[in-house]
Structure 1
Amino acid sequence: MFETSEPYDPTAYPPVAVTVDLVLMTVLNGQLRVLLQRRDQEPFAGRLALPGSFVGPDEDLDAATHRVLAQKVGLSGAWLEQLYSFGDPARDPRMRIVSISYFALLPADRLKAAVTGRNDLRLVPVDVYETPLAFDHDAIVDLARARLQGKLAYTPVALALLPDQFTLRDLQEVHEAILATRLNKPAFRRRMLDSGWIEGTGEKETAGAFRPAELFRQTHCDRSQAKAAGPQMRTSD
């Protein structure tokens, strides 16, 4: 019987490290924005980058991502999804480093509170941030945005960017910010009401520049399905 694999030679393979990078997005003032952090160390000191960290030897990927969210941003409870792995050998000048990227969504008020008083954190419109970002983070942000746009058609992912109660106007503004285009109001509202993702609360907004509109919430059934959907739609602890 022939041996089909070569014996493992550890000297033939240089060490490889694994990091997690977090694309944390929100909609603020009608714009899709991403949270970036100013690096204070080389490589790329002074450059904006996604919050991230090396993964510990006994740490799984999800745990490392929750740690980044808590330690670097001071938050928990975000909508969280694994995005993609980035492994270009030249992506980091220090050594061969593979990044497992995640993207997360939070309502604007929570992210604004996290950024307040922090000189290193910035909520930047996805089309206006300084380029290039550190490492290959431009490509990671672009992929996260494309993934988010694609998911709008078949998941209630946009609801993760809204408070517990919201108007149909709020929901349309979030969709328009993600897609960077205006949507037909009657058609959008009809599709949302027929989706089964939202339900009326019987209440109306109490303040605002518009005539008081009905408040909606995510349906109880859909919230249960979201929690059971595993890595495709998972809420961090």
Structure 2
Amino acid sequence: MLDKASYNKQPKCLVALDSIIFGFDGEQLKILLVKRGPNPTLQTWSLMGGWLAPNENLERSAERILFELTGLKNVYLEQLYTFGDVDRDPIERTVSVAYFALINIEHIDSTLSQAYHAEWFPVSEMPKELLFDHRQMIDLAINKLRYKAALHPLGFELLPEKFTIPQLQKLYEAIFQTTFDKRNFSRKILSTRLLVKLKEKQKSSKKGAYLYQVDQERYETYSNSFLNFVSNSAF
């Protein structure tokens, strides 16, 4: 029979939540890092994170922490993995539940960098030294993002509300670190019927490329479906 006394005898363990926040600036896939560390005089780059609150479940805490750090709600947030090496945190025994988030960089307030010493880094140009096991978290998140983007249309979460097919292609080339044939990419994307072609054209484009929007109803219906949305062999 379980009783509170038996629980009180057990060693306590802190639970942290760290977020791998991806963004896309139109050219490069980027990740948001902040300056922090266990020693205030020896700070290093790290992921954004916080602590699990006693009255919250993991998802609620992750959403709250992301909102407190970025001011954003209703963003794509998915649990990635739990990191629990005994010596991962030199100060206190801490288990970290990692999430990855997809954010439109344009929605991030400029005061974020001032308040948290935050900076966007291209995935290919991140600092060599990161806090604790955060590099391992990021590497795992990049692999998961590529896997998910190959099967599901979650890449739209990184784009503005209106975008062109070339912009979408640049995003997927940035995610997969490869190039796709333009005609095949356009054909493949449009065949999903997830996009709505608008009458507007991109003013900054020389040829005036048409703008598209995501069909939200179809996106919500098929976002968790096996779509074979993008694959290296398809282009």
TM-score (norm 2): 0.85
1:9 CA displacement: 7.5
1:55 CA displacement: 0.6
Distance (Å, rounded) in 2 between the aligned partners of 1:150 and 1:222: 21
- Equivalent in the alignment of 2:215: 219
The answer to whether the aligner puts 1:163 opposite 2:152 as a matched pair is no
1:66 CA displacement: 1.6
Whichever residue aligns with residue 19 of structure 2, its letter is L
The answer to whether the aligner puts 1:121 opposite 2:118 as a matched pair is yes
What is the CA RMSD across the aligned residues, in angstroms?
2.4
1:26 CA displacement: 0.6
- Equivalent in the alignment of 2:60: 63
Aligned CA distance change for structure 1 residues 121 and 17 (closer, same or farther; 3 Å): same
Aligned CA distance change for structure 1 residues 171 and 164 (closer, same or farther; 3 Å): same
Distance (Å, rounded) in 2 between the aligned partners of 1:116 and 1:48: 13
Q: Secondary structure at the match of 1:216?
A: strand
- Equivalent in the alignment of 2:3: none
- Equivalent in the alignment of 1:195: 192
1:158-214 CA distances to partner (integer Å, 9 max, x unpaired)? Answer: 100111111001100110111111111111111100112212123322x11421011
Alignment of 1:7-26 (within 5 A): 11=9, 13-26=10-23
Whichever residue aligns with residue 37 of structure 1, its letter is V
1:58-92 CA distances to partner (integer Å, 9 max, x unpaired)? Answer: 12111211221122223223211111111111111
Count of matched residue positions in the alignment of Structure 1 and Structure 2:
221
Query: Which structure 2 residue ranges, 5 or more long, are not aligned?
Result: 1-5, 225-235
Distance (Å, rounded) in 2 between the aligned partners of 1:113 and 1:223: 30
Deviates more, 1:37-46 or 1:52-61: 37-46
Distance (Å, rounded) in 2 between the aligned partners of 1:45 and 1:59: 32
1:50 CA displacement: 0.6
In 2, are the aligned partners of 1:43 and 1:93 still within 8 Å (CA)? no
Aligned CA distance change for structure 1 residues 116 and 87 (closer, same or farther; 3 Å): closer
1:116 CA displacement: 5.0
